[in-house]
């Protein structure tokens, strides 16, 4: 079987193209997965805070927005949600 330079170049170009396309599409999916995981963790922390805060009279509504804020910002996000709840 004889390989000419054009067919080898086409294979290499195809592999590079597949690699570039995979890099373009994998990064947004990974970022979206991280956002989803953080918002789930934020919702769980808010639910736990509601459970434990019930003993001292502290409750926060667990909504998608408050979960995302708590997920993105972590502990400062939870403090922000608490402050916003009492201000608004």
- The pLDDT score that the predictor gives to residue 1 is 59
**Using an 8 Å Cβ cutoff, are 70 and 46 in contact?**
yes
**Using an 8 Å Cβ cutoff, are 60 and 85 in contact?**
yes
- The pLDDT score that the predictor gives to residue 88 is 82
- The pLDDT score that the predictor gives to residue 57 is 83
The overall pTM is greater than 0.85: no
Tokens standing for 78? 């939870």
- The pLDDT score that the predictor gives to residue 35 is 81
| CA proximity to 35, closest of 43, 24, 47 | 43
pLDDT one digit per residue (tens) for the chain, 88 residues: 566 788 778 888 888 888 888 888 887 888 888 888 888 888 888 888 888 888 888 888 878 888 788 888 888 888 888 898 888 8
Cα–Cα distances in angstroms (integers) from residue 77 to residues 39, 51, 67, 71, 83, in the given order: 11, 18, 9, 7, 10
């Amino acid at each position: 079987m004889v390989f000419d330079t054009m067919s080898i170049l086409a294979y290499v170009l195809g592999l590079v193209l597949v690699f570039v396309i995979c890099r373009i599409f994998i990064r947004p999916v990974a970022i979206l997965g991280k956002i989803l995981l953080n918002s789930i963790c934020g919702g769980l922390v808010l639910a736990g805070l509601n459970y434990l805060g019930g003993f001292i009279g502290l409750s926060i509504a667990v909504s998608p927005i408050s979960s995302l804020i708590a997920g993105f910002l972590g502990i400062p996000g939870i403090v922000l949600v608490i402050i916003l709840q009492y201000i608004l």
